[in-house]
Structure 1
């Protein structure tokens, strides 16, 4: 009963949140410790019936369980829940496919359909099935199920195709099947830029194969690269530097620890990003922030607050405890607000830099107290945002926001790690930091390329361990002796 009440109160509740988390949020709101944006709650019917509500609660609970099992690396539980999703899915998909034909139901409301949620559970389970040779056939079967259905999550098909191609290439050693899948994937209309670059990487790996691939198959791959994926690659060059420092602890851990300052009296230790920030400070960039996706999201949320929160879109706001409208994560966000967004873009582009910087400072101060897209603790004060705006320029600020306007779900991740700047000289850099053995992800490559085309100053900072370098040198000396 409590689950039903909470689901009706917060239909979009994060599946990783416990009931204790929910009650704590409610308490903080009631005692004015937490404020959500003031929005008009839509009366759009999310659940068609009591049965629909109960089916949704069941699958939402399963999603919570599988996410918890993944975090704890309980792979048997993950596989069991994935198999359950595969059993429950066909009936819901059949009903929802029929029900959505010629339907005007907004895409952002379809996430409350049980079939959509069971698909999500199944998708989350794939990695667990890939971990053993015995369960690999199920991973292939379930990926094919995800790809073949045409009801939900069409924007994920490129990712699923990529996973299936990797399995056929590296695990099944079936290059003909890999190329057949690649041919099907590139013909799909809704591929994102990320999908196309990922598929291009797969195609190039196949093209470089010297053995176990026929001439005709290789010719097919070459045709795909030359004629279909020929524009997938970034076209700009990003400068890079390499800095050396003392790496402490296990380099195989996800987060490494570096000695940032090794003076006579003190030693400071921190992340690879903190190490890079210290380096740039020594080069005259007096201020810096480790931001990643928080910066473009905060920038977008601050500049387009009215367009995000103050336009009534049916079904977009379903709870008073909501930090963003649901359609923000769908392909319909821009279309739903096109007129207002286009007007705002025209107004902002006509601002001079001083006006825009003051406007952003004022808006950030106004909205930073809310639990929203804007992360009020990203900067020590709004002066930092004003200074960054003066460095990046009007077109730089607007260009970053435009990328999120048109596909927030895709581009909310992948933005470089750091922004460093000098308020006096207006010099700045947007920096992606990489530790030993780390490489740029597809989204990071595309974000850097996009920022370069905006005319912004980007850099990749590679951090190397001077201890491992000296260790390799000593080992080499021992061998030569």
Structure 2
């Protein structure tokens, strides 16, 4: 038995602790020979593991490369932690435990021009995985070195040649280019440089990213915001930051949420500037002013931290026992008492499910080149690109018109028919979250106009609109009333995406609000219990 200080660590941390323990301990004597702890640990591990085989690298790599090529755009696109999810996924399909929507596979363009091109993409994905892991583990020096290595590759002759070829590909297929992967890595590298306080280098990378128009264009709003932040806060150049914000707000590619974040930053900067400058700034940038969002405050009893890594857990009484619940569950119970007996903490999944069920035939329509390149796709490859709506515009416009002009009964029948025909298939809809009856009730409560507009917002900018939707949707099937709520616990703030969605829903006439849960501390609870016990004791003595 090895005595280690675990402290509830995960498997990786336990392995590191064991290796560290072995390296620090003195050898143990067995007769006249010394056996190190490392050898003992290895022997015990092999005894537990049993016979083990290591595949030859060459055939193993060829097989994995074949699977990766086959699974582009599927849920098993890249192996993780040494596993091969493609094989497991295919086994599930063969066993009838996983199914996909029906659609026409159309491979109009070759993503990779050669075997070498595929290998370069594979190598870039491996580097990306290592960089993500290094940042997740806060190994900043390692992450910096990986980033520098990737920077060199991104500026190599091979990368420049690939960029020329990528110009001929649809934007959503560039995701599978080594240069597209390098761009994602450079975006992550900005965070690494900022962590290491190398802000001038971070600014240079951001300017390079904004200077290209081929890859990751949906992230431009984030790049503009980071550039303005670095110039204003870290380099102390507010005037240059203003120029950046002006240019950013003229960028037609930024999302509504990114625009909100940029306007918020510009407003804060305007307050710090001289009055003559701030008034010119407001006129120049056309800064919007927003009304306050409706909100309600409720109180929850904060539980003692019982789950490692979890914050804002609350205590609630269930009969004679106390249970630990999330901040969203506190809000659900509040709304239940306010006349909304049914509700779901689905965040965006509720509205995405409605979009999927009402627009199923358009999402999986045939005739869009390269949208479906495999028989095992849950979603079209262009879903998260700006091409998604444009590639199906005529079909979508007809669908929105049909939804808005339908009766409630017709919409209920439509979602029921789609639900029955496709339930269980990997898609936008998380089937285990909602019953068909739930969906029909929600349709009845929201109505055709709201549903049509929500579907349109998601279709036009799915990548930007897929998140930020309210945490809760609660409803009353008897009164046909529904309410959407964004729940915030102690210390939580609204993100730009959440603000934008709340304003969109309010404009549509949806009853929605921010629900702020304030905490009563566990110490205060204990004090209340103690005071209650003291009062009972005094009462008994007086009796």
TM-score by length of 1: 0.89
Contact kept? 1:83, 1:122, Cα under 8 Å: no
Q: Is the 8 A contact 2:163 2:179 kept in 1?
A: no
Structure 1 segments of 4+ aligned residues over 6 angstroms from their partners = none
Aligned residues: 460
Shift of 1:89: 1.1
More displaced 10-residue stretch of structure 1: 285-294 or 158-167: 158-167
Residue aligning to 2:427: 372
Aligned to 1:287: 342
Cα drift, residue 170 of structure 1: 2.3
Deviates more, 1:322-331 or 1:108-117: 108-117
Task: State the 1:281 CA deviation.
Answer: 1.0
Q: 1:383 aligns with which of 417, 432, 437?
A: 437
Q: Distance in 2 between matches of 1:327 and 1:131?
A: 33
C-alpha deviation, 1:17, in angstroms: 3.9
1:85 aligns with 2:150: yes
In structure 2, the partner of 1:182 is 245
Matches within 5 A, 1:184-199: 184-199=247-262
Q: Which residue of 2 aligns with 1:155?
A: 218
Residue 286 of structure 1 deviates from its aligned partner by: 0.7
Q: Is the 8 A contact 1:368 1:375 kept in 2?
A: no
Q: 2:381 aligns with which of 304, 326, 337?
A: 326
Paired residues of 2:71 and 2:77 also in contact (CA < 8 A): no
Structure 2 distance, partners of 1:89, 1:205, is 36
Asked whether the equivalents of residues 362 and 392 of structure 2 are also in contact (C-alpha less than 8 Å), the reply is yes
| Counterpart among 256, 268, 282 of residue 312 in structure 2 | 256
Q: C-alpha offsets along residues 411-433 of structure 1, whole Å, 9 cap, x if unaligned?
A: 00000000111111112210100
Provide Cα deviations, 1:153-195, integer angstroms capped at 9, x if missing partner. 2232221110121122222233233223223323323222122
Query: Which of these two proteins has the greater Rg computed from alpha carbons?
Result: 2
Q: Give the Å deviation of 1:470.
A: 5.5
1:208 aligns with 2:262: no
Secondary structure of the structure 1 residue equivalent to 2:475: strand
For residue 521 of structure 2, the aligned residue among 462, 467, 470 is 467
Match of 2:482 among 416, 424, 428: 428
C-alpha distance in structure 2 between counterparts of 1:278 and 1:169, whole Å: 44
Matching of residues 329-478 of structure 1 within 5 Å: 329-379=384-434, 381-467=435-521
**Counterparts of 2:480 and 2:292, CA distance in 1:** 23
- Any stretches of 5+ residues in structure 2 without a counterpart? 1-61, 529-543
The answer as to 2:120 corresponding to 1:55 is yes
Structure 1 position 16, deviation (Å) = 6.6
Moved more, 28-37 or 237-246: 237-246
Distance 1:400 1:147 in 2: 31
Question: Structure 1 residues 54, 271: closer, same or farther in 2, change over 3 A?
Answer: same
DSSP 3-state at the match of 1:111: helix
Judging changes above 3 Å, is the alpha-carbon distance between structure 1 residues 117 and 222 closer, same or farther for their aligned structure 2 residues?
Answer: farther
**Bigger mean CA deviation after superposition, 424-433 or 306-315:** 306-315
- Compute the RMSD of aligned alpha carbons: 2.5
Structure 2 distance, partners of 1:378, 1:397, is: 19
Shift of 1:119: 0.3
Task: Name the SS for the 2:478 alignment partner.
Answer: coil
Is the contact between residue 171 and residue 214 of structure 2 (CA under 8 Å) also seen in structure 1?
no
Quote how far apart the aligned CAs of 1:460 are. Answer: 0.8
Distance, in Å, in 2 between the alignment partners of 1:397 and 1:189 is 27
- Comparing 337-346 with 71-80, greater Cα deviation is found at 71-80
The one of the two structures with greater contact order (alpha-carbon pairs below 8 A, sep at least 6) is 1
Q: 1:313 to 1:255 in 2, by over 3 A?
A: farther
The residue aligned with 2:280 is: 223
112-121 or 443-452, which moves further after superposition?
112-121
What pairs with 1:128-143 in structure 2 (closer than 5 Å)?
A: 128-133=192-197, 135-143=198-206
SS at match of 2:88: helix
* Distance 1:271-1:427 versus aligned 2 partners, 3 A rule: same
Give the deviation of 1:5 after TM superposition. Answer: 0.5
* Distance 1:16-1:447 versus aligned 2 partners, 3 A rule: farther
- The farther-off stretch of 279-288 and 354-363 is 354-363
Inter-partner Cα distance in structure 1 for 2:502 and 2:234: 32
Aligned twin of 2:534: none
Q: CA 1:398 to 1:261, structure 2 compared with 1: closer, same or farther past 3 Å?
A: farther
Change (3 A) 1:16 1:406: farther
The answer on 1:247 being equivalent to 2:312 is no
Q: Matches of 1:79 and 1:374 in 2, distance apart?
A: 39
Counterpart-to-counterpart distance in 2, 1:220 and 1:22 = 58
Question: Aligned to 2:432, what secondary structure does the other structure show?
Answer: coil
Identify which of 130, 151, 166 aligns with 2:229.
166
CA distance in 2, matches of 1:112, 1:14: 10
How much has 1:387 moved relative to structure 2? 0.6
Deviation, structure 1 residue 250: 5.1
